Structure 1
């Protein structure tokens, strides 16, 4: 069904009032241009006139009735819009500019509604012509997002306004310090005190990378932090798992919290006491706002759509992605995988900024680590793209020396299953120090904890 049976949303009065206000006071034009473009006007005369205003503004020329009439005459458009009488009429249509931004918002809203109607019509055509549901979904998502991204938003502010907000934050921290509130965490606590001391928690709008070679415990460490945040800080946290199913991830988190051997749970060989622990922790976890998504073919576009929905429905503050190199853009325009990873990395940083959330992405390290005598990771080991390092606000590496020096004990059992030391290396921190934090890893429980205390 083609959408042609009704007049698209518009407001002739609002369009004329915007143009008339500019004629009355040209100094308001920059504010108006920030919100609407000539394409946003519905009526052809208004489109032409506002476009001329934009062109005069871009050239630094006066924007008034005389200059607009002259520009229209030069372009052979004056008669098309009804001659000088039209300009004179518009210049007198409003008595004041007091409500110009209100009129501007009406024009903007009507243009958005028309764009959505056009998009819906194109999506219907796509259903007819493409047929494949997944391709139509991608097309529809792209079409809607292109409309959303085209809407201008104010991203600048006076330093005086910014400084006011910054000073309020500093004052709050100072007061908390004077009250002796201990280690100050200005972001979301990770549940690891030593990490919080160095980072003051995970902060909004930041992209954080947790990188390691395979089998170092990236997923376990990320799950530990995510669970700590959900349970201790009572916030909504999303985990996008491209490698494990929701059930596998939930099983791992449950065993970690209940301190029950993961292998025992998998085989069903658990005692009554362990069963009670599992039941208790399952109840606690069920009350949390941990959200799992196990889409294995996750694209940046899909991630953005899902994250937006989760932000709206649950108010998520942190998302984890396990792991970055498993994502794909599905675009065929990239010359190399490195270029694709660069775009994916950038999209994660933009997502953090757009939704004002923390994005934590796990990342594989290149095999170059294995060729060195000292196998502790470096920033240069970030696999496939140096852009990951550039985009990230915080880069952390997990390293376990025992992984490379594991030996069989007398019974032939792999000692790698025992508790052992781990290092969390902060290789980059945009707003803080770098250094190494000592941890202990218990692989049976898929759990990391502070090295200076026993597991409790």
Structure 2
């Protein structure tokens, strides 16, 4: 067993005042386990106590020994803990035999044992806040990063403390598989087809199983092909789902919130976008449809940020805050959309556009993993598509960075034949979603109907028409 990090130097951080801790609560927890190993399950599994949660180093060693014995299904008492520490040369660091004996004699009322474990955890949390505060303060004084980077780092650190997940470590593959098998069994028994956030397009969801938590989805196409229309439709379908609406965060770097509002109402009400923009709503039936659509959206968990000059650090910070706000009612965000990738402002000092775009792409992937929420990012394609006879996009057409392809879990291209051949196409109003990369699934094409006057996409099946 390795020695655990010493926490006591923090005692001298603020004019000799010791950081938050409770020696009595720590002694009570350890003493209770020495007398009966039954509380160990509570402390390890429910309270998630770790050796580093104890303030005194000797208590860290004692609880570490208990944890080793617990994992090995060995009995935990004064004798076994003492011998375990002695065998690893840690008995003296743990205070010696007299310390172990003293812990067993210092147990208060048994009915309060759960509370003592909670106190130890709470004091540990406060010390981590204190440590994070001084690390942030040091960064500010040392000017070791850009101001916005320091702010983003501070926010991330505090969220890690709040979630208590910054010490995430290796997991045994057996434990991972055990949890996954339970999920698979539930899906099989209940006949569940979707494991992620449904796009609202049945044929697409059939291939993807929905947009998966932690995945980065790239939707790419040439300008005016319908990228923004597609993701606004997805945002509409997710946030207005009749049975289970999920919160959507939409970062629109290209369109204003007013333009987006027009698109949402036009699509949902079936009113031509041009009629909305020009106020051609004298028809009472049209006006009624507009008001009904507006009423539906007023209750939808759909949130728009139309900052046109925003960096990946700012997007991550804003998404984290909104995710926190949505936890109580919805369990967090259901989807994050960025429209679009190449318009984001670079954070770093690099002059290479390829490196800048790669940094943004990687940042969005990290955000998806961090919040366990699917992130859809729109991307432009290079002009190389135009020079080919077959205009259907390829992965090599992703503009400015191979890093986009590498980071993406799912790459979806939009192709419309009438975009290139408006006079001669035999597929007017038809569109294809081309799934060219799917890290954990199959590839394929999804036919859709494009209604440019709204603009919106619809599925080919009757229930989506």
How far does residue 384 in structure 1 lie from its aligned partner after superposition?
4.4
Partner residue of 1:425?
Answer: 434
Residues 1:290 and 1:88: Cα distance change in structure 2 (over 3 Å) = same
Partner residue of 1:350?
Answer: 369
How far does residue 322 in structure 1 lie from its aligned partner after superposition?
1.7
| Matches of 2:166 and 2:351, distance apart in 1 | 24
Residues 1:282 and 1:324: Cα distance change in structure 2 (over 3 Å) = same
For residue 319 of structure 1, the aligned residue among 319, 336, 339 is: 336
Residues 1:165 and 1:334: Cα distance change in structure 2 (over 3 Å) = farther
User: Please, what is the CA RMSD of the aligned residues?
Assistant: 4.7
Is 1:272 paired with 2:282?
yes
How far does residue 144 in structure 1 lie from its aligned partner after superposition?
1.3
For 1:342-388, what per-residue CA distance to the aligned partner results, in whole angstroms no more than 9, with x for missing partners?
Answer: 5224314413xx44x33323233334433432121123333444454
Q: How many residues align?
A: 425
Is 1:369 paired with 2:381?
no
**Secondary structure at the counterpart of residue 214 of structure 1:** coil
Is 1:400 paired with 2:416?
yes
Is 1:166 paired with 2:184?
yes
For residues 282-293 of structure 1, the aligned pairs below 5 Å read 282-293=294-305
Residues 1:400 and 1:374: Cα distance change in structure 2 (over 3 Å) = same
Q: So what's the TM-score if we normalise by structure 2?
A: 0.72
Residues 1:90 and 1:126: Cα distance change in structure 2 (over 3 Å) = same
How far does residue 255 in structure 1 lie from its aligned partner after superposition?
1.9
| Matches of 2:436 and 2:271, distance apart in 1 | 33
Partner residue of 2:248?
Answer: 237
Whether the 8 Å contact between 1:186 and 1:203 is mirrored in structure 2 is yes
Whether the 8 Å contact between 1:32 and 1:101 is mirrored in structure 2 is no
Residues 1:140 and 1:92: Cα distance change in structure 2 (over 3 Å) = same
Whether the 8 Å contact between 1:349 and 1:392 is mirrored in structure 2 is no
For 1:323-357, what per-residue CA distance to the aligned partner results, in whole angstroms no more than 9, with x for missing partners?
Answer: 23444672458983365145224314413xx44x3
| Matches of 1:172 and 1:142, distance apart in 2 | 38
| Matches of 1:136 and 1:429, distance apart in 2 | 35
| Matches of 1:32 and 1:454, distance apart in 2 | 50
The answer for unaligned runs of 5 or more in structure 2 is: 1-12, 71-78
How far does residue 151 in structure 1 lie from its aligned partner after superposition?
4.1
| Matches of 1:37 and 1:121, distance apart in 2 | 23
How far does residue 272 in structure 1 lie from its aligned partner after superposition?
0.4
Partner residue of 1:194?
Answer: 203
Whether the 8 Å contact between 1:345 and 1:387 is mirrored in structure 2 is no
| Matches of 1:419 and 1:284, distance apart in 2 | 31
| Matches of 1:213 and 1:382, distance apart in 2 | 10
Q: Comparing 276-285 with 248-257, which one deviates more in the overlay? A: 276-285
For residues 246-261 of structure 1, the aligned pairs below 5 Å read 246-261=257-272
